[in-house]
């Protein structure tokens, strides 16, 4: 049995784990990084990067088919499915390779391969032959796709984001279970690449939007490109030859049947915590499956153990995972070395969906019954730059308190990935709508839409 000792043990070499290891080391702690494989970070390997490569191919195909608006005639647009997937994997592997190159810079003795589990609140077992004594530990084990029970037993007919990008060719038809960020991105991309796509979701929202009018617009726009069913309940799924048959109930309670070559489970991801034996470390998982932890320090209740990234199921996006990793690494080092830990205020919420139109949610969530808020709205249908480029769909909703201080908003439209950053910075800086309006915006740009929405915020009755 190999016996090791360290100040900080980091479990998981993804985005959060790598950031945590670096932060702990920079703080003067002796840290080890444990990874059971395959590594490469969720974002680079099965998340944001391969999905954006698929979206890029779909955008090119869609643009080539829709040039008539500009007086440009293009004929015979052909999608080469194997070529699309080959480029996706080639570029994806480059991104993953960059992650591994970064890991190669870590001392070999600090990198430990194998599955970790807690023996007690100060000891980890890695595999069957290694024990690690630690002063503080960080759980950064990431997440895995959730597969609903009706989809079990479908074999290769079932896809998740962990397997989707490995298929050699595009299927002729696809059912996507889930209309959230991942589901609707993949669904629209596949539809634009010529796949017959059906989307089923039990809820009434799409693309992470909650403001009613934007949600309705999104459902109508995406429904024009694919077969979208909100309020749908999957009853069962079974193989049927080389395809899959799905029995489901629509929002009106009527039974429906859909057949497709493949089904993609895109109903969310669950933290990878089941194999860690958290109870042995004195940690108890709540109803959400995650141990209680302080969102400002990332320290779990009951032991010198911290949690970061997708493993904490709080804000499962890359920029949050990276920041959480840094906070956890610094605080784990502080715990190990007898220093005070630091409480860090969470970032302003920022979530994006890279469909076309794009969607984003910023800051405080939509609150329909809030009487201390005002809402400013704009519609892209007549926005100058959006009309020039034929992308004039969607709108913006921004909410502020009654003194004009910006609280958050939702967006659905062109260039939202840029507009959302502007609003996020304004909310984080505590700016009022007037503060932002008085800053320069160049003409003609889509960014002018932000000014329009801010100008349309109702003013206080006394004119202040």
Domain ranges of the chain: 2-145+270-337, 149-267, 350-455
Q: What pLDDT is recorded for position 288? A: 86
> What is d(CA 75, CA 17) in angstroms, rounded to the nearest whole number?
49
> What is d(CA 245, CA 323) in angstroms, rounded to the nearest whole number?
43
Pairing of strands 130-139, 2-11: parallel
pLDDT bin (cut points 50, 70, 90) of residue 462 is: very low
pLDDT in tens, 319-345: 999 999 999 999 999 999 999 999 999
Q: What pLDDT is recorded for position 460? A: 61
Q: What pLDDT is recorded for position 464? A: 38
Token duo for residue 269: 């991801």
pLDDT in tens, 35-69: 998 776 788 878 889 999 999 999 999 999 999 99
User: Regarding the domain delimited by 149-267, which CATH topology (the fold level of the hierarchy) does it fall under?
Assistant: FAD/NAD(P)-binding domain (3.50.50)
> What is d(CA 47, CA 310) in angstroms, rounded to the nearest whole number?
12
Q: What pLDDT is recorded for position 357? A: 98
Burial 300-336 (b: 16+ CB within 10 A, else e): beebbbbbbbbbbbbbbbbebbbbbbbbbbbbbbbbb
Please state which of the four CATH numbers 3.90.1200.10, 3.30.70.260, 3.90.550.10, 3.30.390.30 is assigned to the domain occupying 350-455.
3.30.390.30
Q: Do domains 149-267 and 350-455 have the same CATH topology?
A: no
Residue 157 contacts residue 259 (beta carbons within 8 Å) = no
Average pLDDT, the chain: 95
> What is d(CA 349, CA 188) in angstroms, rounded to the nearest whole number?
25
pLDDT in tens, 284-300: 999 888 999 999 999 99
> What is d(CA 208, CA 325) in angstroms, rounded to the nearest whole number?
25
Asked if residue 367 has pLDDT above 70, the reply is yes
Token duo for residue 203: 């809820």
Helix or strand (DSSP H, E) at 437 = helix 433-437
Q: What pLDDT is recorded for position 425? A: 98
Q: In a 10 Å sphere around its CB, with 0-12 CB exposed, 13-18 middle and 19+ buried, how is residue 114 labelled?
A: middle
- Range list of H helices, 47-138: 48-65, 81-104
Could you tell me the CATH superfamily of domain 2-145+270-337? FAD/NAD(P)-binding domain (3.50.50.60)
Give the predicted TM-score (pTM) of the model: 0.94
Burial 370-389 (b: 16+ CB within 10 A, else e): eeebbbbbbbbeebebbeee
pLDDT bin (cut points 50, 70, 90) of residue 146 is: very high
């Amino acid at each position: 049995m190999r016996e090791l000792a360290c100040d900080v043990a980091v479990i998981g070499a993804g985005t959060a784990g790598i950031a945590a290891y670096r932060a702990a080391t920079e703080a003067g702690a002796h840290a080890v990084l444990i990874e059971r494989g395959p590594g490469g970070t969720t974002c680079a390997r099965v998340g944001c990067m391969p999905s954006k490569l698929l979206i890029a191919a779909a955008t090119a195909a869609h643009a080539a088919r829709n040039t008539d608006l500009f007086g440009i005639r293009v004929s015979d647009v052909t999608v080469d499915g194997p070529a699309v997937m080959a480029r996706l994997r080639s570029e994806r592997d480059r991104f993953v390779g960059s992650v591994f190159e970064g890991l190669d810079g870590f001392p070999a003795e600090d990198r430990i391969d194998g599955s970790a589990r807690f023996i007690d609140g100060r000891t980890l077992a890695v595999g069957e032959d290694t024990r690690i004594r630690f002063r503080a530990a960080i759980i950064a084990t990431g997440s895995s796709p959730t597969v609903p029970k009706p989809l079990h037993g479908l074999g290769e007919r079932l896809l998740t984001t962990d397997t989707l990008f490995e298929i050699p060719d595009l299927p002729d038809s696809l059912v996507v279970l889930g209309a959230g960020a991942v589901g609707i991105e993949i669904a629209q991309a596949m539809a634009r690449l010529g796949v017959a796509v059906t989307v089923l979701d039990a809820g009434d929202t799409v693309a992470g939007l909650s403001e009613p009018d934007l949600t309705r617009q999104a459902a109508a726009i995406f429904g024009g490109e694919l077969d979208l069913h909100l309020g749908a309940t999957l009853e069962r799924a079974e193989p049927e030859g080389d395809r899959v048959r799905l029995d489901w109930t629509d929002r009106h309670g009527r039974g429906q049947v859909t057949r497709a070559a493949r089904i993609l489970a895109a109903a969310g991801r669950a933290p990878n915590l089941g194999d860690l034996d958290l109870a042995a470390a004195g940690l108890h998982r709540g109803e959400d499956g995650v141990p209680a932890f302080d969102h400002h320090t990332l320290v779990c209740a009951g032991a010198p153990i911290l949690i970061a990234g997708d493993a904490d199921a709080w804000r499962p996006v890359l920029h949050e995972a990276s920041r959480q990793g840094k906070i956890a690494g610094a605080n784990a080092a502080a715990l190990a070395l007898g220093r005070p830990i630091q409480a860090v205020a969470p970032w302003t919420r920022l979530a994006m969906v890279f469909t076309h139109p794009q969607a984003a949610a910023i800051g405080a969530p939509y609150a329909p019954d809030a009487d201390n808020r005002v809402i400013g709205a704009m519609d892209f249908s007549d926005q100058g730059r959006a009309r020039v480029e034929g992308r004039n769909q969607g709108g913006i909703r921004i909410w502020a308190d009654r003194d004009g201080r910006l609280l958050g908003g939702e967006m659905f439209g062109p260039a939202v990935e840029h507009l959302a950053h502007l609003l996020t910075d304004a909310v984080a800086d505590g700016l009022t709508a007037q503060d932002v309006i008085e800053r320069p915006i160049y003409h003609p740009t889509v960014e002018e839409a932000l000014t329009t929405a801010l100008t349309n915020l109702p003013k206080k009755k006394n004119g202040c």
